[in-house]
Amino acid sequence: MTTRRKFLTTAGVAGAAALAAPAVHGATKIKWRLQTYAGPALAEHIVKPSVDMFNAVQDEMEIELFTADQLVPTGELFRSMQKGTVDMVQSDDDSMASPTEVTVFGGYFPFASRYSLDVPVLFNQYGLGDIWRSEYEKVGVRWLSAGAWDPCHFATKDPIRSLADLSGKRVFTFPTAGRFLTQFGVVPVNLPWEDIEVAVQTGELDGIAWSGITEDYTVGWADVTNYFLTNNISGAWAGSFYANNERYQELPERLQKLIDMMMDHSHYYRQWWYWGGEADLRVNGPKMELTSIPDAEWQQVEDAAVTFWDEIAAESETKAKVVQIFKDYNEVMNKAGKPYRY
């Protein structure tokens, strides 16, 4: 936030114009600004290694990385990218307030996935990528690539051992996840990402339903919450890379291909980092006590998700198409049995 305030204070009219101007070509490097939804500690894992690799393997282009809210608030990322203030974004559709038919499915769409590998399969083999690409073409933004992050669990100050314990809890979570969880008494709270830790400490928040246990430890939330609920409402966060369409089209094909490789590296890094971290920290992490809601009671939440899917599907033809893909995919996974579904 300090960086962003300083930037906004000193930029002035000339600075703002320069920020929105197209990337410079020719004798100087092409320079892009990439802002991620993640704060500094998390960005060190989910995107920075890939950006560093991209910058190191060629000298034609430099991607400058900015973390959550550093240049613009996360909720303004889409508009800023559309205008060219930011060249590239790593986020989910939901958090960046994307004006598309697929926005509701970004982040944690309840029980859309069981494991992180479900997300790339849905996008690359079951057609979600084609739908996302088409939807973003309509609004002048280039959707580039989707991948999985961690599952969605509650990290709370007080223990959650039954659905009744959720009632009245003020929780920082994603828009669609919050919409779904309100039926169980959860009160979704929207705050800047960097304010969450203090909000838990001061009592403004009772908990967080934003991540798995790996992020809780990485970003400091495990230091201010006491309990981790093992039940989750989604097996993996679904997020994407996006770019200003004009800037992307200006790039030579070789740089576009290198960006593809950078994104694949980012997706792969997260697959093993989260998968290993979630298990290790549940077993060896010293900071939070694990709690669980009995499976029979939690089934009420999974059943409610089926109804929620149908409600979303009724909103538009595109949403109905996405929901049907989820249903078709899960039918295949359930029939396949172990290890795909238990």
What confidence score (pLDDT) does residue 27 get?
59
Chain centre distance of CA 182: 20
Q: How far apart are CA 242 and CA 99, in angstroms?
A: 14
The H or E element spanning position 215 is: helix 213-219
Q: What is the pLDDT of residue 15?
A: 46
Identify the DSSP state of 29.
Answer: P
Segment 256-311, tens digit of pLDDT: 999 999 999 999 999 999 999 999 999 999 999 999 999 999 999 999 999 999 99
DSSP letters, 174-212, are: -HHHHHHHGGGT-EEE---GGGHHHHHHHTS-SEEEEE-
Helix (H) or strand (E) holding 144: strand 141-148
For helices 317-336 and 128-137, give the axis angle rounded to 10 degrees. 160
User: What letter represents residue 87's amino acid?
Assistant: D
Has this prediction a pTM greater than 0.85? Answer: yes
What is the pLDDT, as a whole number, of residue 185?
97
pLDDT at 291: 98
- Counting residues of the chain whose pLDDT is more than 70, the rounded percentage is 92
**Helices and strands, counts by H and E, the chain:** 13, 11
Residue 254 has pLDDT above 60, yes or no: yes
For residue range 169-207, list pLDDT tens digits in order.
999 999 999 999 999 999 999 898 889 999 999 999 999
Longest dimension (CA), the chain: 65
Confidence at residue 5, expressed as pLDDT on a 0 to 100 scale? 41
Query: 3-state class of 26 per DSSP?
Result: coil
Question: pLDDT tens digits, residue range 87-143?
Answer: 999 999 988 999 999 999 999 999 999 999 999 999 999 999 999 999 999 999 999
Strand-pair partners of 227: 156, 289
For the beta sheet containing 227-234, the strands, ordered from the edge strand earlier in sequence to the opposite edge, are 187-189, 170-173, 207-211, 152-156, 227-234, 289-291
For residue 229, which phi and psi values (nearest 5 degrees)? -85, 120
Structure tokens at 118: 């479900």
Question: Is the predicted pLDDT of residue 8 greater than 60, yes or no?
Answer: no
The owner of tokens 């992050």 is 149
In this prediction, residue 6 carries a pLDDT of 45
Q: Do 135 and 106 meet the contact criterion of CB atoms below 8 Å apart?
A: no
pLDDT at position 17 is 45
Integer Cα distance of 231 and 186 in angstroms: 15
What's the pLDDT at 176? 93
Q: Is the dihedral of CA 172, 176, 182, 184 positive or negative?
A: negative
**What is the rounded average pLDDT for all residues in the chain?**
92
| DSSP state letter for 99 | -
Q: Please write the tens of the pLDDT for every residue from 279-289.
A: 999 999 999 99
Strand pairing report for 227-234 and 88-91: unpaired
Euclidean distance between CA atoms 92 and 158, whole angstroms: 29
- CB count, 10 Å around CB of 330? 18
Give all domains of the chain, ordered by start, each with its CATH number. Answer: 2-149+237-278 (3.40.190.170), 152-235+287-336 (3.40.190.170)
Residues 6+ apart with CB under 8 A from 210: 152, 172, 173, 174, 196
Alpha-carbon distance values, 17 to 12, 14, 21, 85, 322 (Å) = 9, 5, 6, 9, 39
DSSP 75: G
Cβ-contact 199, 187 below 8 angstroms: no
Whether pLDDT at 337 is above 60:
yes
Local structure of 114: helix, strand or coil: coil
